[in-house]
Structure 1
Amino acid sequence: MTAELTVHETIALLQQHGRTDYSIWSERNGLPLRRIDTGWQVTDTGHDWLLYRTEGGERVTQYRCYTSESQVCAELLAGVLGAPPPPPRPGAEAAFDTLLARWRHTPWRLRPATRAQLRDALARLGVPGSAYSLHGGAFEGRLCLEQRTEGWRVHRVRSGRTEPLTPWTTEPSACAEFWRRLVDEDLPTLLGADPAALPTRPEPVAAPDDLTIPEALAILNRSGSRPPLGLLAPSHGIHQPMPGGDDVANLHELPDGHWELRYTERGQTSVQASYTREGDAAADLIAPHYSAPGIASPDRHADRFAPTRYEQLLHHWRQHPWHTSPSSIQELAIALRDFGFPYDSYRLAGGRAADGLRLAERLDSWRVYRVRDGEVLGETRHATAGQACAEFWRRAVDELLPGLFAR
């Protein structure tokens, strides 16, 4: 495989695709003048390369001039085999809006396996055509996918030097590498065009199926962990106050169905928390068991690393959170802390007292859902903690994190 794409290799590739709607006139390559009625035409002047398109014998594009053989070959391949790049983004809109729209497209979840699928995905994301080449070429700074007669490769040219890369034998593997590099390295700062709008997907509202105090106790017994907390719940026949009268906490059910967490110290009792629903009191009963490792210290929040919303979202993009795969509650809590999720934006013990993303262990399943104005939205149920943690993290990265910067 030669270092750069050549005219003869380009012709061989076009022949593989059965294309004849092009013409290359190059005396140094032994190619005579051959005019065509409709198609792309290349002229080698001896110093530069000219490319234009004709339809019905009339030129319909401006002459484009290239200084290297590989560039004009790549553009010829793109013209014959590809599609025109998306139009430039009109006007100058906020970089944050573009980056937020790209985040909400969740490009890290896409799996383009062909050049055509890559082209469609790039168009949907509004990536400027000047940022990449799907037919190779020695374009300075562009991320290039290149098909050669021996296989495929992904490369970039920096300061005139092509990065050495191991060739890929199949198109899907090369496309996967191209997409990974584009998403991780290039996409967040390519702000030349707006992504296509996403269709709205309403989250289904689930009927409330709140945790109860007996179920919370069963879950705690199953885990072998019980917080040092007394419990007085007359409706469930539970009367288990903490022994002693000082430095103790008790959860009380009130006559009106509300709940209070009361703490007594030196003869003085204060209300530490109040609940209008039993489910929220039950969630707090098991919350310390799961949530304590996830408390995010303020110095991990994005506003400590960047002053603007755009730079904060960019900071999180460059952390590549989609590469993290927490498979346990402990790992999930640590990931939430390390990526700077504000503690009031999620909860790892269920309930619906406040808006945010929730993970809840129940006796029959693990549940992931979002709370908005007391409603349970988009609830999914999972057989294992690992499955639930994976879904929680996916929703945290794809849905929760960008919303934290859109306020």
Structure 2
Amino acid sequence: MSPAPALVIVGASYAGVQIAAAARELGFAERIVIVGDELHAPYQRPPLSKGFLTGKTSIDRLALRGPDFYAQNDIELLLGRRAEAMDIGARTVTLDDGAKLDYGWVALATGARCRRLPIPGATLEGVFDLRTLDEATRIAEAANQAQRCCVIGGGFIGLEVASALCSRGVAVTVIEAQPHLLTRALPPAMSAYVESAHRRRGIDLLTGRGVRALHGSRGRVEAVEMDDGSRIDCDMVVLGIGVAPNVELAQQAGIAIDNGIVVDALGRSSAPHVLAAGDVANMALAPVPGGPTRMRLESIQAANDGARALASLLVGKEQSCTAVPWFWSDQFDLKFQMAGLPVHGDEAVLRGDMRTDRFSMFYLRGGALVASHSVNRPAEHMLSRKLIAARARFTAAQLADESFDLKAATVPS
């Protein structure tokens, strides 16, 4: 007799593990199988570009769950296995060895992969992506011998890698094609602050510049050729030009895709009994006037909240994902904490002094607090998440005045 249909979770990611954990916590009693294409037990990815590269976080501290968690919760781990196809009519997932898993529900937590750099020399030895533990390990080993690194891409991952390697004594040049760093993630004032902070800590920043080719000898990278033909000598290159969601499994099954798998606030896709969460999911957001209605959020918080919403559906206790999005990034001695989703036209209000590396930037929309960016002010960040959720109202003068108690906000009844 074949095993009963299971909850099959494709992806041993943070979202995948959280789906399984939340399902068990909420009382889901059926079989749970997690399929992961890496041989490692599920691990945390955020420290890979932060503490792991600086040496502050050891490999044995990366595990998402303790070694007994899966057995104790009757969760089957199929590691080093890849889901190759999905038949939504027959409710089966086919693995790379031809085995088929019958499912009652399937949850896609396939995450994202690094975008490739389509230039000559991109496959030379010493050119690295950073998404997996194995890749992070190779970067850390290369950094032990390197004198100069070029980081191509000035997004959060690129800047975290740059700061980590610089802290290890490697000379780092960051090359960003856009005129400013983090232009898609941060408003101009915050972007300018990040640029200044990195330059003051020893990073060589080249913005508004393209890369034409990578050059090397004996198969190993030795230089980056810029768009004007000039070259930057280096021992290693790290690519941080963004990620693409792993939607192929859903796409071949005819499921709606739009920069990720399109899902509602409970993680439901366009196909029956097919759910998605984490970096691969383009999820419906809680309505905020003037804000986006859905987004693919690449964060631990989004993975956790999406997983819990999905698990609530499995047990018939539906609880949509409505949490305020939040993110964080560690760069040098700076802890960036961001809450909410600012849009063009929001009123930006500075609280504190940027020169001290301790401040918050708040964003008002129609008098309501909709987002905040804090640097080395964790308590203010935590409070702002509550205030954003409550749609608290302030004047710009109140927010800018550090003597004003933020808890005294006007909150709609």
TM-score (norm 1): 0.20
Q: Which has more helix, going by share of residues?
A: 1
Answer 1 or 2: higher relative contact order, Cα 8 Å, separation at least 6: 2
